[in-house]
Amino acid sequence: MARSKHPEETVVKILDVAMRLFVERGYEQTSMQNIIDGLGGLTKGAVYHHFSSKEEIFLAAMDRVMAPGAERLRKIRDAEGMTGREKIQTMFENGARGVDSAFFSQADPELDPMKNPRMLAAEYRDLFDVSAHELMLPAIEQGVEDGSIQTDYPRELAETIALLNNLWCVPAFFPARDEEEQRRRVAFMNDFLSAMGLEIALDPRVSLETWRRRCGETAQEDDGADACADARARR
């Protein structure tokens, strides 16, 4: 099959097929050849013209999954009639973390940084470029101006929040051993934010629901001890 004259349509088709296979087979069990075979005659060269690897396809799929949530956060950032503190609180309540999505859980990619460092690197890049600098920093700077946030370090605060909230508090990347440890992380985040002049309240129920979805099955098998196998491997 000749290369499409409409490359954006080709990309959409590749992502549609790849995402279906990632969910059905899992990320690790899906090969580039599986994706090519599912494209109904699209050549290998056409696929590699747009994506150099399966990993690159997966990251593009995650961008698609996260796009509606990220757009929702941009609207919160730009909203009229809200203080900076209120915007940050609302952002936390309307988070867009792709690693907590059903698609990510079903695809279940390997996240051990020693085995798949590029996946972690992509998340690390996005958490600074998007979460910290594009979304949180403008709201924090507004909060400093309107008096709702008291900090001398708006940029550093935005970066630290993004780092902790998008990696340390996320079970997919650094799973807590049990529910109590996950709950303590949220409590620490609330105390940390308060100490840094940002009086907001993170709801531990959302974090615990995410932990149970990713680690709950293992927790039942282990009778609640050291719930995530990944957590044992990384510590």
Distance between CA atoms of 29 and 166, rounded to whole angstroms? 26
Q: Which two tokens stand for residue 115?
A: 């085995």
| pLDDT reported for residue 232 | 41
CA pseudo-torsion sign 74, 78, 82, 84: positive
Contacts of 80 (CB under 8 A, 6+ apart): none
Where along the chain do the CATH 1.10.10.60 domains lie? 1-52
Q: Which of 120, 99, 98, 124 is nearest to 111 (CA)?
A: 120
Neighbours of 152 (CB within 10 A): 9
What does the pLDDT look like over 218-235, one tens digit per residue?
444 444 434 465 444 444
Top-ranked range on mean pLDDT: pick from 83-92, 158-167, 203-212:
83-92
Is the whole model's pTM more than 0.85, yes or no? no
Distance between CA atoms of 179 and 20, rounded to whole angstroms? 32
Distance between CA atoms of 155 and 160, rounded to whole angstroms? 9
Q: Which two tokens stand for residue 189?
A: 């985040």
Topology of the domain covering 1-52: Arc Repressor Mutant, subunit A (1.10.10)
Which CATH code, of 1.10.150, 1.10.1390, 1.10.3470, 1.10.357, is assigned to 65-234?
1.10.357
Q: Is the pLDDT of residue 108 over 80?
A: no
Contacts of 11 (CB under 8 A, 6+ apart): 50, 60
Q: Which amino acid is at 95?
A: G
What does the pLDDT look like over 150-206, one tens digit per residue?
999 999 999 999 999 888 887 777 888 999 999 999 999 999 999 999 999 888 887
